[in-house]
Structure 1
Amino acid sequence: MKIELHDSILKQVPNFKVGFIFYKDIVIDESPQMLKGRLDFFQEKIAADLHEQTVLDYKGVLEWRDIFKKLDIDPTRYRPSHEALFRRVAKGKRLPFLNSAVDLNNFFSLQYEIPIGLYNKDVLQDYIKIFIGTKNERLEGLNHRINNMEGKIVSVDSIGPFGSPIVDSHRSKVETTTRNAVQIFYLQPSLPLNKSEQLLQSAAKMFTQLHSGESSIFLLHQESSEIDVC
């Protein structure tokens, strides 16, 4: 499978970078109490912080809104997914517990202040390309609504769109039956490459500690925008 970060993004945001973690032979279940407690505590901390500041005071939220503006995406109309999580917490709405993989993915997104997608690798075909969508791109979201991805950052395989830093698809959702997965980290452009690699290594270690299996890490950026991963 080839992974590619397209020039349609890099021309507008030259320091754009995306991390991929591929997981093999994982076991997903209900989240253990340790993860639930950690996610609850982190949400409580965010809620307390937001009594003294706004969601836009988080560096990762502000930086991603700036990325959207550079790409001519209205960040008020189409919010980056991590900002939507922060705003949900700000309203006093706790994140629902879905399964250990999705819950940990939400924790990472809040912790690192970036959009992160988690997908069932076994339903993805041939390649993964990340680019600015055209009028032909449509994505059925997790809520079964059809999303027009024209002009937005979108991830596609040979079947079609399956994810983005805004909304993810029903087709590629991760469930307790999922055994192989891919996680896409939409990293902050300001994060140096070595720090980006450290972040991915830390996330992969925590994910496999909880779900067993094996992980492989890849980082796409201006100097390395295409990689054959298998």
Structure 2
Amino acid sequence: MEISISPEIAAKVDGFKVGFIHYKGIEVGASPQMLKGRLQLFQESIFFDLQEKPVTEIDGVAQWREIFKSVGKDPNRYRHSAEALYRRIKKQNYLQTINSAIDLNNFFSLQYEVPIGIYDLDKLKGDRIELRLGSEGETYTGLNGRENSLENLIVACDNEGPFGSPFVDSSKAPVGEETQNAVQIIFLKPSLSLEDSEMLTKSLMDMFISIHGGEGRFSISEG
């Protein structure tokens, strides 16, 4: 599985880059107690930090709000997924455990302050993922249960069209306990250097494999 970034995104967002991880032979299940405990403690720490500052002052949140503006999507109406997580925690509406893959994905998103998507590879079509901007009238049913407008939104597409975005993913390829192969897209901060992007992505991959087994390989794609 390869990933590409459309020239349109590159033209509108300076420094746009994503981390891309391909996992094979993983085992997804209930989160280990270690992960549950870390996620809970981290959320409590974030909650207290956010009593002193607004969510929009978090560096990664602010950078991704600017990206949404740059591509023509109002960040006040369409909040990227990392910002949505932080806003939940600010209201003390803590994330509940779902499964080991999604819980870890949420943990990393909070830790690195950026949207991160994980998808069941066997539910995607083709051998290539393209990141592009959604077209006028383009929609999909999201994991939020609603039909979401994709116009001017950065979307991840397989051969059949969009299946994910840094706003909300579609219901096409969620990771569950039956998942054995997956792809993960880390929507990195534009300010992050290539070297630091590689270190972050590899660290995430290594921890994911330590919990789920299997094997992984990663790459960084730049716009």
Whole-angstrom distance in 1 between the partners of 2:52 and 2:147: 37
Written as runs of structure 1 = structure 2, the 5 A alignment for 1:176-191 is 176-191=177-192
- In the other structure, the counterpart of 2:92 is 92
Amino acid at match of 2:95: L
Aligned residues between the structures: 222
- In the other structure, the counterpart of 1:207 is 208
Please state how far the C-alpha of 1:144 moved relative to its aligned partner.
3.2
Please state how far the C-alpha of 1:56 moved relative to its aligned partner.
1.5
Written as runs of structure 1 = structure 2, the 5 A alignment for 1:139-218 is 139-218=140-219
Whole-angstrom distance in 1 between the partners of 2:147 and 2:24: 30
- In the other structure, the counterpart of 1:75 is 75
Whole-angstrom distance in 1 between the partners of 2:135 and 2:16: 20
Whole-angstrom distance in 1 between the partners of 2:18 and 2:92: 31
- In the other structure, the counterpart of 2:18 is 18
- Assess if the C-alpha contact under 8 Å between 1:137 and 1:148 holds in 2: yes
Amino acid at match of 2:48: A
Whole-angstrom distance in 2 between the partners of 1:19 and 1:125: 20
Written as runs of structure 1 = structure 2, the 5 A alignment for 1:113-132 is 113-126=113-126, 127-132=128-133
Per the alignment, in what secondary structure is the counterpart of residue 125 of structure 1? Answer: coil
Task: Report the TM-score when normalising by structure 1.
Answer: 0.94
- Assess if the C-alpha contact under 8 Å between 1:137 and 1:160 holds in 2: no
- In the other structure, the counterpart of 2:41 is 41
- In the other structure, the counterpart of 1:27 is 27
- Assess if the C-alpha contact under 8 Å between 1:204 and 1:215 holds in 2: yes
CA-to-partner distance for each residue in 1:71-108, whole Å, 9 max, x for gaps?
Answer: 11100000010000000000010101100000000000
Amino acid at match of 2:11: K
Per the alignment, in what secondary structure is the counterpart of residue 11 of structure 1? Answer: helix
- In the other structure, the counterpart of 1:227 is none
Per the alignment, in what secondary structure is the counterpart of residue 3 of structure 1? Answer: strand
CA-to-partner distance for each residue in 1:181-219, whole Å, 9 max, x for gaps?
Answer: 000000000000000000000000000000000001011
Please state how far the C-alpha of 1:143 moved relative to its aligned partner.
3.3
Whole-angstrom distance in 1 between the partners of 2:86 and 2:51: 13
Whole-angstrom distance in 1 between the partners of 2:26 and 2:18: 22
Whole-angstrom distance in 2 between the partners of 1:198 and 1:34: 23
2:58 is equivalent to residue 58 of structure 1: yes
TM-align CA RMSD: 1.0
Task: Report the TM-score when normalising by structure 2.
Answer: 0.97
